[in-house]
Amino acid sequence: MTDADSSTLEQESDDAVEAAGDLARRVAENVGEVIVGHDAEIEHILTAVLGRGHVLLEDVPGVGKTMLARSIAASFDGSFKRVQFTPDLLPSDITGINVYNQKTSEFDFRPGPVFANVVLGDEINRAPPKTQSALLEAMEEQQVTVDGVTHEMPDPFTVIATQNTVERDRTYELPMAELDRFMKKLHLGYPDSDDEAEMLGRVVGNHPIEDLSPVATLADLQAARTAVSEITVEEPIRAYVTRLAEYTRDQAQLGVSPRGSIALLRAAQARAALAGRDYVVPDDVQTEARAIMPHRIRTASADRTGEEIVGEALETVAVE
């Protein structure tokens, strides 16, 4: 191989992409201090964060959903708030309220817990839809309106919500339109026996989450997000994403929306950054599609799940 040849092959990703990938790896390592296993899920959450998305973790209780969200939040030096959703939670409990200030004779806005860089919405499906939608407005619009006054959300702003799949009779399932606002829905699942044993070893004595310190600044995260959004997405990739979305629309009652396609592209960009690559390849799309598409699909019959349809799409839609 000559010098000229090798120059054409050199991965000439720029420094910003390199830095974004670096940041993600640092955070992942940090989270790994607390969470045993679940490397793929951690990566998925990180690509969602880099791709300006929000994440919904769905699973049975006790598999570490909250711990995972907390670890991620703790890895950044930004603010972190946690909202425990209950059936009696009111919207103003999330967004905040205007309080009459007797000194100034004016109403002061007292921000609710949603005003933080990382918000953990625990058991979001326990609250009634009205309360859920207060959070969802903040997620989509990056702003909250209280008594006619609009308040901007901090930047960056990421919601990590969890929901229980048990006790369905006492929950309010998120409507399709609101599910769509989560970039990804992830399942953690039980750890395998080795991982569980190691985890048990770690929690004896001081819980490692107490020792976790931030490894990235908010400025780092903002820079990384900018770098990710500038990663090259060529026409073949856009066409591939479109074909995947079309396939789900053909096969299901309700397929992946254009918002879903956008989310897929953003996540794929973040995935490329994670690999230190400044362009998206089909593999990025395929990895992200499994987390981004299924929850946006409503199947025609109960026999087929969104996961199955996405699996078929990835198998039959040609990569060109």
Partner 1 sequence: MSTETGGPTERAVDAARRPLAALFEPRGLALLSAGLLLFSFTFPLYGIIDVVGDPSTFLLVVAVTLVLATGLSRVVGAWTALPVGLGLLVLGLWMYASALPADVVAQQDRILGDVVSLFMGLSVLRLQMIELFALAYTPAPVFLTWYLVLRRRYVGAALVGGAALTFFVLTGDVDTLVALLGALGAVGTVGFGRLERFGGADRAVETMAVVLAAMVVATMLVSVVPGGTGTPFGLFGEGGTDTIEGSLINSDQRVSIQGSISLSSAVRFTVESPREAYWRTGAYDRYTGDGWVRTGSTLDYRGEMSGPQGESRIVEQAVTIESELDAMPAAWKPVRVSENVAGDTSVTSLGGLQPASAFTPGDSYTVVSRQPVVSPRRLQRAGDDYPGRIESRYTNLPASTPDRVATRTRQIQDGAGADTAYETARAVESYLEREKGYSLEVDRPDGEVADSFLFEMDEGYCTYFATTMVTMLRTQDIPARFVVGYTTGEQVDSGTYQVRGLDSHAWVEVYFPDVGWVQFDPTPAGPRQDAEQDRIEGGGDLGNVDDDPEPTTEPPSTPDRPTTNPSPATPGSTVGPIRTPTTDGDAVRTANDERGGIPLPEPPSREEAALILVVLAGVAAGARRLGLHERAYRAVWVRWQPRADPASDVQRAFERVEYVLAREERPRRDGETPRQYLAAIDADEPVERVYRLHERARYAGDVTVSLADDAVAAANEIVRERTGPLG
Residue 109 CB, nearest approach to partner 1 (Å)? 47
Residue 276 near partner 1 by CB under 8 A = no
Which one of the spans 15-23, 30-38, 137-145, 277-285 is the region binding partner 1 (CB under 8 A)? 277-285
Distance, in Å, from the CA atom of 96 to the CA atom of 198, rounded to the nearest integer, reads 41
Residue 319 near partner 1 by CB under 8 A = yes
Residue 281 near partner 1 by CB under 8 A = yes
Distance, in Å, from the CA atom of 161 to the CA atom of 119, rounded to the nearest integer, reads 8
Q: Which class for 187: exposed (0-12), middle (13-18), buried (19 or more C-beta within 10 A)?
A: middle
Written as six digits, the tokens of 301 are 């019959």
Residue 283 near partner 1 by CB under 8 A = yes
Residue 5 near partner 1 by CB under 8 A = yes
User: Which residue in the set 59, 180, 278, 288 belongs to the binding site for partner 1 (CB under 8 A)?
Assistant: 278
Other Cβ atoms less than 10 A from the Cβ of 305: the count is 13
What torsion do the CA atoms of 228, 23, 17, 235 make, to the nearest 10 degrees?
-40
Residue 23 CB, nearest approach to partner 1 (Å)? 22
* C-alpha separations of 25 from 28, 39, 43 in Å: 5, 11, 9
User: Which residue in the set 26, 111, 282, 308 belongs to the binding site for partner 1 (CB under 8 A)?
Assistant: 282
Distance, in Å, from the CA atom of 320 to the CA atom of 198, rounded to the nearest integer, reads 43
Residue 280 near partner 1 by CB under 8 A = yes
Residue 194 near partner 1 by CB under 8 A = no
Residue 11 CB, nearest approach to partner 1 (Å)? 9
Binding mask 218-237 for partner 1 (x = CB under 8 A): --------------x-x-xx
Which sign does the torsion angle of CA 52, 185, 146, 74 carry?
negative
User: Which residue in the set 88, 169, 210, 320 belongs to the binding site for partner 1 (CB under 8 A)?
Assistant: 320
Residue type, 187: H
Residue 276 CB, nearest approach to partner 1 (Å)? 13
Question: How many binding residues for partner 1 (CB under 8 A)?
Answer: 23
Residue 18 near partner 1 by CB under 8 A = no
Residue 316 near partner 1 by CB under 8 A = yes
Residue 51 CB, nearest approach to partner 1 (Å)? 18
Residue 288 near partner 1 by CB under 8 A = no
Q: Which residue has the tokens 């992942």?
A: 28
Written as six digits, the tokens of 316 are 């039959």
Residue 213 near partner 1 by CB under 8 A = no
Other Cβ atoms less than 10 A from the Cβ of 83: the count is 23
Written as six digits, the tokens of 311 are 């699996």
Residue 300 CB, nearest approach to partner 1 (Å)? 19
What SS3 class is residue 5? helix
147 or 315: CB nearest partner 1: 315
How many residues are listed for the chain in this entry?
320
Name the helix (H) or strand (E) containing 74. Answer: helix 65-75
Which sign does the torsion angle of CA 285, 286, 291, 293 carry?
positive
Residue 223 CB, nearest approach to partner 1 (Å)? 22
Which one of the spans 5-13, 70-78, 89-97, 296-304 is the region binding partner 1 (CB under 8 A)? 5-13
User: Which residue in the set 8, 105, 193, 206 belongs to the binding site for partner 1 (CB under 8 A)?
Assistant: 8
Cβ distance 41 to 72 under 8 Å? no
Q: Which residues bind partner 1 (CB under 8 A)?
A: 4-5, 8-9, 232, 234, 236-237, 278-283, 286, 313-320
